[in-house]
Amino acid sequence: MPRLVLVHGSVSNGARTWSGLPRLAACHELVVVNRRGFPPGGEVERVDFEDEALWLAERVESGDHLIGHSYGGLVALLTAATAPWLGSLAVVEPPAFGVARGHPAVERFVQSASTLWRDGPREPEPFLRAFLRLVGSPFDPPSPLPPELAQGARTLMVERPPWEAAVPVAELHALPFPKLVVSGAHYAAFDAVCDVLERELGAERAVLPGGGHVVQSAPGFEDVVLDFVARAEDARR
């Protein structure tokens, strides 16, 4: 049974991010990782995408299909660049803004996010609400935040800015496994990043509206992943 390694993004842990995918679970082994700093693990003082990529590389095996959402998609891109033996790579709206600097929507996002991290609220709940508005998430968290969301928000606040990442697109393009880029057609900055990744990685592209930044909740997500992984498995055989 093919292994799908699922990497969550900011705020929510793996179980919360990747819940509700029964058809994928029926025919694949879902390896849902919990990144450091997120429950049920303890809190951390700093999150760095480069360290996360090294951590993730120790958890993927030959032939795995690596799927990352948001910050986890950025981590997956960096991990995949060192893992030519992957079965495939799929990224869901990764904040790899460095590949699309100069695009007006990306520049606006980076400026707004930089202001939030520098001058924004220092309490987890108002910071989280500002962040969700910024990334176009429809999620309206309860107040007060449940403990796991409060921890996720505190971890979000110590993440290294993703626009500082240098994604090695040429190296990734040269690697033999199939690539897929998924976006939700809800936010121009993410669309710009995904346009560049589609072109520079030689990747397939799926656009699934209806879930905002939580694209894995949009109609058709499981269909797209099932088809992509099946074709990647056929190519390997």
176: phi then psi, degrees, rounded to nearest 5: -80, -15
pLDDT digits (tens, 9 = 90+) for 41-68: 999 999 999 999 999 999 999 999 999 9
- Our count of domains for the chain comes to 1
Q: Containing domain of residue 66, as a range?
A: 3-236
Q: So what's the pLDDT on residue 135?
A: 82
- 3 state DSSP class of 204: strand
Could you tell me if 57 and 33 are in contact, meaning their C-beta atoms sit under 8 angstroms apart? no
Could you tell me if 33 and 4 are in contact, meaning their C-beta atoms sit under 8 angstroms apart? no
Structure tokens at 224: 């797209």
Distance CA(75)–CA(69), nearest Å, equals 9
State the number of CA atoms in the 13 A half-sphere of 65 facing the CB.
Answer: 24
- Of the pLDDT bands very low, low, confident and very high (cuts 50, 70, 90), residue 237 is confident
Q: So what's the pLDDT on residue 136?
A: 72
Q: In CATH, what number is assigned to the domain containing residue 103?
A: 3.40.50.1820
pLDDT digits (tens, 9 = 90+) for 95-144: 999 999 999 999 999 999 999 999 999 999 999 999 998 887 778 999 99
- Of the pLDDT bands very low, low, confident and very high (cuts 50, 70, 90), residue 30 is very high
Please tell me the pTM assigned to this model.
0.96
